[in-house]
Structure 1
Amino acid sequence: MSSFKHKLFMAVGPLVVAVVLLLGLLFSPFRLLPVNQKGIENSATSISTNIMKGEKIYRMAMSEKQTIPFFGSSELSRFDAFHPSVLAKKYNRTYTPYLIGNAGSQSLTHFLVMEGMGDTLKNKKAVFVISPQWFVKKGASNMMFSSHFSPLQTYEFILSGEEDSPSRRYVAERLLQYKATSVDNRMNAMLQSIAEGKSINQQERTYAIAKRQILRNEDDLFGSFISDKNAKRVDSRLKQLPNQYNVQELDKKAFEIGEKSSKNNPFQIKDGFYKTRIKPVEGELKNSQRNFNYEFSKEYSDLQVVLEKMRDNNMDVRFVIPPVNSKWAEYTGLSQEMLNRFSEKISYQLTSQGFKVIDLSNDGKEDYFMQDTIHIGWRGWVALDQKLKPFLEDKQQASPKIELNDYFLSKNWQNLPAKDIKK
């Protein structure tokens, strides 16, 4: 019998011990695993969804003075030789671009990411790339939002303050519209209370604090893996650039590389992208975007809550409105007039409240400005760098005068035609 018990213990004992240790780690009130400096450096270009859903890596990175967050979506993953991360490293810039976002990350995701960063964003400069494609009628789709959804960051939002406000109610209402929040019944109930302008009760607060700690420990255990794949991609591009920074020489080089890289199509789209993503369905895409409209969307109000986070953290931000490849837009029937109305509306929302905009929306006709249909590349990165470089290298920290208007949270604003804006 004792022999049987011994064998049984030897068979299941290690598993039991492992489970006990894991539970101990998850419920520990302390942060657990350190991340070395090399890991933080690699995380600047990782753009990993795993990191995006957490907070530990971001807080460590943002605490470093030279780190500049670049918020955006899939354009950040286009690592050609002129990408901001490559230019900054090649020319020993005084700042390090920290890329936040990948395909499908939009304003509401970025709001939650910023919640997870806490006060490490205080007095930070930042770059925020606003893609016109975000501004479809309902904003981020269920699938895209769910792929980036972070319970940890959502509990940070729930616990971030008891004071009722229009933006706090708006965020809770929007989160409740997504399936991702319905999985956790207690979270859902707390969001419902906030959406109704109520405070969570003491029992809910106690639960939320405990749940947040468990999720922080999960982030510590499972969110600390940082791939160096993109860091290596950045390093491999450095040799393509001239040793001395010269705008004319860089633009010429970008033209040459763009021309060489897009020979198999008439749209100046990168050959590989055209071959795999466009050519198989090219005929079906002709005039397929005639009815696309980015003028009316919940995304305008989703962006507004991001602006409030920036104001509260005294951030100095440059918002970038990228163009669409005009050759491709003409083929698909995407209206430049509609894109102009979008740019006018979003620019008004930003500038009327004190934010600064870099509007590149009319540059899609420039040769090799875009790497594909909607993403900046080659000469586009060079042009953007000229506008960002003085801002990012200036050691003076500005305190922009931001005056927010809750009207931009309203359905009236979401559905207002650009022509009806009263300036």
Structure 2
Amino acid sequence: MKKKLFVIFGPVILAFLLIAVFFTSSYRVNVSDPEIIHKAASSMSDNVLRGDIIKNTAFAEKQYVPFLGSSELSRISPFHPSVLAQKYERSYEPFLLGAPGTQSLSQFMMMRSASKELKNKKVVVVVSPQWFVKEGVKEDYFSTHYSELQTLDWLFSIKKVTPTDRYLARRLLSFSIVSDDEEIARILNTVKKGLTPGDKELAELEDKWNILKREDELFSGIGLTDKQNRIDQATKPLPASYEKEQLAKLATQIGSSETKNNPFALKNEFYTTRIKNHLNELKDSQKDWDYRFSKEYSDFQLLLQQLANEQAEALFILPPVNEKWSEYTGLSQEMLQGFAKKIKYQLKEQGFQHIADLTKMASVPYFMEDTIHLGWQGWLTADQYIQPFLEEKQAKSSYHMDDAFYSKDWQLQSPETLPEK
């Protein structure tokens, strides 16, 4: 009888014992290993984006600079920031924090959970126009990159509820992955009302928080996507020394050779796999799209508030949309200029002065790799802002934040009513 019981329950008991040993042991990802941090810097793996230990360890080192964005960061070419930094042995290494769907809300959570390491640090942010659809980040994108650990980091840090906290609580509750968690939703509703979470409420989440932190320590270094070989390969066509004119010619040469099979100057493979078989249905398909009125503007304010809290210096890059493609789909370039005006107003009105507005370069050959992502000339142009910003001393910014940017009035405000900044 005892033998039968052991056969039935023994494996379960053994599994629980192994888990207990694993979680209580002193083992953790070896963040003192520079190879792990270096690999993570270009991996854009979700366990790094949603975790704390690896990115926070990297940000504590001067050489690693947060590069926030979305899918454009994953497109490695000879002019990608990681490639140029490696080839020309610059004083910084980009730590890429982006994937499809990592918009302002996810980026804020990543930066907030690294608040100590972000202090007085430089940051580069690529702000994509297509984030700014009416409802902001899509539910499935947000859910993919949602970090319960970073949410609990924030909740346990609250000493006094601010307008930022209240807006964040309301925004998080609008996503089912958060609202369906009864324990977290209950505390978020408390914060939404302007009340500080009680010790008893937080105590109910403390075990979960500790387990998530332990999982981050154990597993965040596992399965890192290794892009280093792609970066190494991308450095090979580059000249030995950084000469802008020579690099511009190379960008044109590579761009020309890789966009031969379509009239839109889209990368050949992208056109073949994503566009060619849908070309007729895409004609005039974007004529009603509008990026001037969106919840994303208030989500973006979360990120700005966090950067200001830590007195970080940030460079914001505003990319264009491929003009040949926008003419075909009906996407208004005039509307895109309205988006740029509104974003620049929000930035400059609060003291953020480092802005690379590239939105008027939509017609420059080989500026874009495809419809919306920076390409050969685009990244090279962006580098004219990135390198001096990161390698030269910058005057200390003076931030004066305005909670009105969390309001629905701001989300819906027309750029035409704003003064030029």
Residues 223-264 of structure 1, C-alpha deviations (whole Å, 9 max, x = no match): 221435211110111111111111111110010000000100
2:418 to 410, 413, 421: 421
Q: Distance in 2 between matches of 1:42 and 1:67?
A: 12
Task: Classify the secondary structure of the residue corresponding to 1:268.
Answer: coil
User: Structure 2 matches for 1:150-165, cutoff 5 A?
Assistant: 150-165=147-162
Report the TM-score, using the length of structure 2 for normalisation. 0.96
Q: Is the 8 A contact 1:315 1:399 kept in 2?
A: no
Deviation at 1:385, TM superposition (A): 0.5
Deviation at 1:117, TM superposition (A): 1.7
Residues 173-226 of structure 1, C-alpha deviations (whole Å, 9 max, x = no match): 000000110232110100110011011111112223332111111122232214
Q: Distance in 2 between matches of 1:21 and 1:398?
A: 54
Structure 1 stretch 68-77 or stretch 177-186: which is displaced more?
Answer: 177-186
Letter matched to residue 69 of structure 2: G
Q: Is the 8 A contact 2:27 2:218 kept in 1?
A: no
2:335 to 316, 326, 338: 338
Aligned to 1:352: 349
State the superposition RMSD in angstroms: 1.7
Q: Is the 8 A contact 2:43 2:224 kept in 1?
A: yes
Aligned to 1:371: 369
Q: Distance in 2 between matches of 1:160 and 1:407?
A: 24
Q: Distance in 2 between matches of 1:30 and 1:195?
A: 38
Q: Is the 8 A contact 1:242 1:250 kept in 2?
A: yes
1:297 to 294, 306, 319: 294
Query: Would you identify which runs of 4 or more consecutive aligned residues in structure 1 move more than 6 Å?
Result: none
Q: Distance in 1 between matches of 2:125 and 2:13?
A: 47
Q: Distance in 2 between matches of 1:137 and 1:199?
A: 31
User: Structure 2 matches for 1:196-275, cutoff 5 A?
Assistant: 196-275=193-272
Q: Does 1:179 align with 2:176?
A: yes
Aligned to 1:392: 390
Letter matched to residue 375 of structure 2: G
Aligned to 1:380: 378
Q: Distance in 2 between matches of 1:191 and 1:23?
A: 31
Q: Distance in 2 between matches of 1:317 and 1:70?
A: 10
* Cα distance change on mapping 1:228 and 1:53 into 2, 3 Å: closer
* Cα distance change on mapping 1:129 and 1:202 into 2, 3 Å: same
Gapped regions of structure 1 (runs ≥ 5): none
Deviation at 1:14, TM superposition (A): 5.3
Q: Does 1:362 align with 2:360?
A: yes
Aligned to 2:409: 412
Residues 323-368 of structure 1, C-alpha deviations (whole Å, 9 max, x = no match): 0000000000000110010100011000111112110001110000
2:74 to 70, 74, 77: 77
Q: Distance in 1 between matches of 2:25 and 2:121?
A: 29
1:33 to 29, 33, 42: 29
Letter matched to residue 154 of structure 1: T
Structure 1 stretch 199-208 or stretch 380-389: which is displaced more?
Answer: 199-208
Q: Distance in 2 between matches of 1:137 and 1:18?
A: 48
Task: Classify the secondary structure of the residue corresponding to 1:140.
Answer: coil
Deviation at 1:399, TM superposition (A): 2.4
Task: Classify the secondary structure of the residue corresponding to 1:147.
Answer: helix
Deviation at 1:116, TM superposition (A): 2.1
Q: Is the 8 A contact 1:159 1:208 kept in 2?
A: no
Deviation at 1:115, TM superposition (A): 2.2
Letter matched to residue 347 of structure 2: L
Deviation at 1:15, TM superposition (A): 5.0
Q: Distance in 2 between matches of 1:170 and 1:326?
A: 36
Letter matched to residue 34 of structure 1: N
Q: Distance in 1 between matches of 2:269 and 2:36?
A: 31
Task: Classify the secondary structure of the residue corresponding to 2:360.
Answer: coil
Deviation at 1:164, TM superposition (A): 1.7
User: Structure 2 matches for 1:45-64, cutoff 5 A?
Assistant: 45-64=42-61
Report the TM-score, using the length of structure 1 for normalisation. 0.95
Task: Classify the secondary structure of the residue corresponding to 1:362.
Answer: helix
Task: Classify the secondary structure of the residue corresponding to 1:229.
Answer: coil
Q: Does 1:166 align with 2:135?
A: no
Deviation at 1:32, TM superposition (A): 2.8
Residues 281-335 of structure 1, C-alpha deviations (whole Å, 9 max, x = no match): 0110000000000000010010101111001111000011000000000000000
Q: Is the 8 A contact 1:43 1:226 kept in 2?
A: no
Q: Distance in 2 between matches of 1:86 and 1:212?
A: 37
Q: Does 1:44 align with 2:23?
A: no
Q: Distance in 2 between matches of 1:128 and 1:312?
A: 16
Deviation at 1:9, TM superposition (A): 4.5
